[in-house]
Structure 1
């Protein structure tokens, strides 16, 4: 019963974080089943949680693994452009759709999705979801130095992808 209450509390606290992470990671808002799977796995393995990290980072790690498994099962690359088209064809808007509102943000999102997996993971966790280097290292099971170096390299890679004039002001904010 104690584990049941614990996972309920974590669900209430971290549901939105897990949901948003999976949306950014997979490029689709159809992730509710995976969010539930995260908490089912969390409940199943709660006794293995050693509290060396925050529950949120442990659950994000589970979410990341579920997303990777999901992509492998589908045996296809997630083509962001086609997914974005399906999102834009809908009339209703959810709060997290702000990321997709204008062409520039779409291009940024596409550029992030085109990064190699390790770069994309770090950009989503550090740059979009605003996790600390320590939290990111726990989620990715990397050393903090690797997180920082990979984040720096991923930003450099994004700068190269976004060299057009309309990106000059945005690139300046990245440099700061």
Structure 2
């Protein structure tokens, strides 16, 4: 009996992770394991995008609504993009709708932007001095991003935070790849200029 339980436990532990195709098929079939796995696999990414686009960590209810929408629409996924890209599109559109409902508020606030949002502030283990510099840079980044137009800020989130390709960003925003590159270049230029001004003001 003990041997049987051990074998069952080992079998469970060694069960391979579902492939994307298996995950989609399972969700379409209403398989609870697949549904749970989809939420588990993409919850962090959806939450991160919501926090970045809405500027608040109090978005868990919104995340739940998004996953309900994702599961209801899973049969419409045609495989023309990765599952993540498809999920991101639903998430971004839901956030845009939420922003429209918040017209009386500022479009974007970066009080909760993750410290590793943009590559400039990524670092490995840092000394106390380096950490202070990171915190200072992070603060300037928040302030600068907070002043960007939504169309520019979203491109930075897509490319520098989520790591989407230019082609994926173009498809999500229904624009040409060259336009994405041009706007992203402009967005980074504006962002750098604003960060420089904040830094100069900080050290005056």
TM-score class, shorter-chain normalisation, is: 0.7 to 0.9
Structure 1 residues 39 and 159, CA, compared in 2 at 3 Å: closer, same or farther? Answer: same
TM-superposed deviation, 1:159: 2.0
Give the equivalent residue in structure 1 for 2:189. Answer: 156
Structure 1 residues 14 and 2, CA, compared in 2 at 3 Å: closer, same or farther? Answer: closer
Give the equivalent residue in structure 1 for 2:7. Answer: none
Q: Does 1:24 align with 2:57?
A: no
Whether the 8 Å contact between 1:19 and 1:32 is mirrored in structure 2 is: yes
1:41-80 to structure 2, matched below 5 A, reads 41-78=69-106
TM-score, scaled relative to structure 2: 0.66
Aligned mates of 2:199, 2:139 — CA distance in 1:
13
TM-superposed deviation, 1:79: 6.9
Whether the 8 Å contact between 1:24 and 1:124 is mirrored in structure 2 is: yes
Whether the 8 Å contact between 1:38 and 1:63 is mirrored in structure 2 is: yes
Aligned mates of 1:119, 1:165 — CA distance in 2:
19
- The size of the alignment, in residue pairs, is 157
Whether the 8 Å contact between 1:38 and 1:66 is mirrored in structure 2 is: yes
TM-score, scaled relative to structure 1: 0.75
Look up the SS of the partner of 1:162 in the other structure.
helix
Give the equivalent residue in structure 1 for 2:11. Answer: none
RMSD: 2.8
Give the equivalent residue in structure 2 for 1:116. Answer: 149
Aligned mates of 2:78, 2:41 — CA distance in 1:
19
Higher helix share: 1
Aligned mates of 1:74, 1:108 — CA distance in 2:
24
**Greater RCO structure (CA 8 Å; 6+ sep):** 1
- For structure 1, the residue ranges without an aligned partner over 5 or more in a row are 88-95, 168-176
Look up the SS of the partner of 1:14 in the other structure.
helix
Look up the SS of the partner of 2:105 in the other structure.
coil
Whether the 8 Å contact between 2:170 and 2:176 is mirrored in structure 1 is: yes
Structure 1 residues 102 and 48, CA, compared in 2 at 3 Å: closer, same or farther? Answer: same
1:30-45 to structure 2, matched below 5 A, reads 30-45=58-73
What is the CA deviation profile of residues 121-167 of structure 1, one whole-angstrom value per residue up to 9, with x for unaligned ones?
Answer: 10011112222212222332333222211111101111221234847
1:138-153 to structure 2, matched below 5 A, reads 138-153=171-186
